[in-house]
């Protein structure tokens, strides 16, 4: 299964392995490595809907089995 996605989520698929889209809601606009500190997406709701959430909607439409969340804050 392949899902086109701008900078944020990729769907992996193999026989007998569940697929996952990661890392919701995306890391595209963060300036901090989330393994070191709390990354923040400063986008408003419109940008989230038009950019950050698009690949996850596509993955869901394509039948992805799960979505992996990111440890980030969203200020939208």
Nearest to 65 by CA among 7, 28, 5, 22: 22
Q: Is the pTM of this model over 0.85?
A: no
CA dihedral of 30, 12, 2, 39, whole degrees rounded to 10: -10
Do 75 and 19 contact (CB within 8 A), yes or no? no
Does position 6 have pLDDT exceeding 50, yes or no? no
Nearest to 55 by CA among 18, 2, 16: 2
For residue 3, the model assigns a pLDDT of 46
For residue 14, the model assigns a pLDDT of 58
CA distance 31 to 18: 30
For residue 2, the model assigns a pLDDT of 47
């Amino acid at each position: 299964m392949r899902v086109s996605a701008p900078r944020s989520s990729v769907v992996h698929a193999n026989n007998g392995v569940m697929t996952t889209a990661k890392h919701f809601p995306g890391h595209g606009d963060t300036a901090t490595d989330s393994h070191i500190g709390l990354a923040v997406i400063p986008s408003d709701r419109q940008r989230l809907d038009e950019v950050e959430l698009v690949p996850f909607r596509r993955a869901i439409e394509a039948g992805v089995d799960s979505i992996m969340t990111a440890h980030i804050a969203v200020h939208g």
